[in-house]
């Protein structure tokens, strides 16, 4: 592969990743993007998967190419996920690429599905050149929620906290408004609006009385509001703000996190955004249910006992939970660190 080709492939896969990020999040199918390029690296068509029952990204790209009256003969397809090899609601993408005349397929990460996988073999048996692993980490991050849903049969869990640089979520007098700046808070609300459910413990509801709605910077509610979930057996007064009419609220009267995850998943919740407190977040980490971390850090030192996270079952440094930072973002004076569990 020449340096020019490598550069063209990298640019095309980055575009495919951007398309995948436009695909519906936390749906029945993974987010996937695809682009079709010629030998000069020019993108002739692109596609994405728009949800269960719609065309897969590769088919969407082929359809868009046909709409331009262009042929796929001799083109290269770059796809974030290995083309599928099974017939479900839609046909196998690997076969469609072969029949269209695609000469080379480059995908980011292999399809782990037992039924869906095998596309590479089908392509190679038909004489199509296949390469993989281009931006594999980024491609795996995109399909991680679907992977958890499909193989662990539970929601994808995002743990969020805001803290000072020394990891404190409140001062010694328990005051915490506001550790982070307005930009960070706006970012949290935007992410809430993209979530299916927000989960908190009963203590957070009693002490902080949060509303847990998703609001725009001007205070207006986002059109889509997540389900508000309280976990714990303590009786909560219905006059708390979390029970207002801005969004639906349920309480799972259990301390069994596995039971709670199953209940939410059976309800159709594929993703949970956890906003505290430290006890429930620590327990989720300890139980192995924490898939992603959103940590908002403010350039402040507070000291004191109000740590962001408590005991997670790590008794020694060699048992530390290793994370991989997948994104950092400057938000005003704050920094957002986005991390996932490092694969063993």
Catalytic residues: 58
Beta bridge partners of 201: 231
User: Does residue 215 sit in helix, strand or coil?
Assistant: strand
Closest to 12 in 3D by CA, of 35, 31, 32: 35
Strand order in the sheet with 104-109: 43-48, 33-37, 76-81, 104-109, 129-132
Radius of gyration of the chain (CA): 23
User: Can you tell me the distance from the alpha carbon of 302 to that of 163, in angstroms, rounded to the nearest whole number?
Assistant: 9
Nearest to 190, CA basis, from 149, 228, 226: 226
Burial class (CB in 10 A: 0-12, 13-18, 19+), 193: middle
Helix and strand element counts for the chain (H, E): 9, 13
CA–CA dist 301, 140 (Å, integer): 35
Backbone angles phi, psi at 77, to 5 degrees: -105, 130
* Whole-angstrom distance, CA of residue 7 vs CA of residue 81: 20
Find how far residue 128's CA is from the centre of its chain: 32
Torsion angle in degrees (nearest 10) through CA of 129, 134, 139, 140: 90
For tokens 């399809």, name the residue: 111
């Amino acid at each position: 592969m020449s340096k020019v080709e490598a550069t063209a492939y990298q640019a095309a896969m980055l575009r495919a990743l951007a398309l995948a990020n436009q695909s519906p999040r936390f749906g029945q199918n993974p987010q996937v993007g695809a682009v079709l390029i010629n030998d000069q690296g020019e993108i002739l068509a692109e596609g994405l998967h728009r949800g269960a029952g719609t065309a897969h990204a590769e088919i969407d790209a082929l359809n868009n190419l046909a709409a331009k009256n262009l042929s796929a003969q001799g083109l290269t397809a770059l796809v974030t996920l290995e083309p599928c090899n099974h017939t479900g609601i839609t046909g196998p993408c690997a076969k469609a690429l072969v029949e269209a005349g695609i000469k080379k397929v480059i995908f980011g990460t292999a399809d782990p599905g037992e039924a869906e996988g095998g596309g590479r073999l089908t392509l190679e048996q038909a004489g199509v050149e296949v390469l993989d692993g281009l931006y594999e980490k980024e491609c795996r991050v995109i399909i991680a929620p679907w992977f958890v849903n499909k193989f662990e049969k539970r929601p994808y869990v995002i743990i969020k906290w805001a803290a000072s640089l020394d990891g404190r979520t409140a001062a010694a007098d328990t005051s915490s408004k506001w550790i982070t700046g307005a930009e960070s808070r706006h970012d949290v609300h935007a992410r809430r609006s993209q979530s299916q459910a927000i989960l908190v413990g009963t203590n957070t509801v009693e002490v902080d009385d949060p509303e847990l709605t998703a609001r725009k910077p001007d205070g207006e509610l986002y059109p889509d509001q997540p389900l508000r979930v309280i976990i714990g057996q303590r009786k909560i007064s219905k006059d708390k703000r979390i029970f207002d009419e801005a969004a639906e609220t349920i309480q799972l009267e259990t301390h069994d996190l596995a039971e709670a995850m199953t209940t939410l998943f059976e309800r159709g919740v594929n993703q949970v955004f956890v906003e505290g407190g430290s006890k429930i977040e620590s327990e989720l980490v300890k139980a192995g249910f924490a898939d992603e971390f959103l940590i908002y850090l403010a350039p402040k030192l507070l000291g004191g006992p109000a740590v962001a996270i408590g005991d997670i079952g790590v008794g020694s440094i060699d048992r530390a939970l290793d994370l991989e930072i997948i994104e950092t973002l400057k938000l005003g004076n704050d920094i957002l660190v986005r991390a996932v569990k490092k694969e063993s």
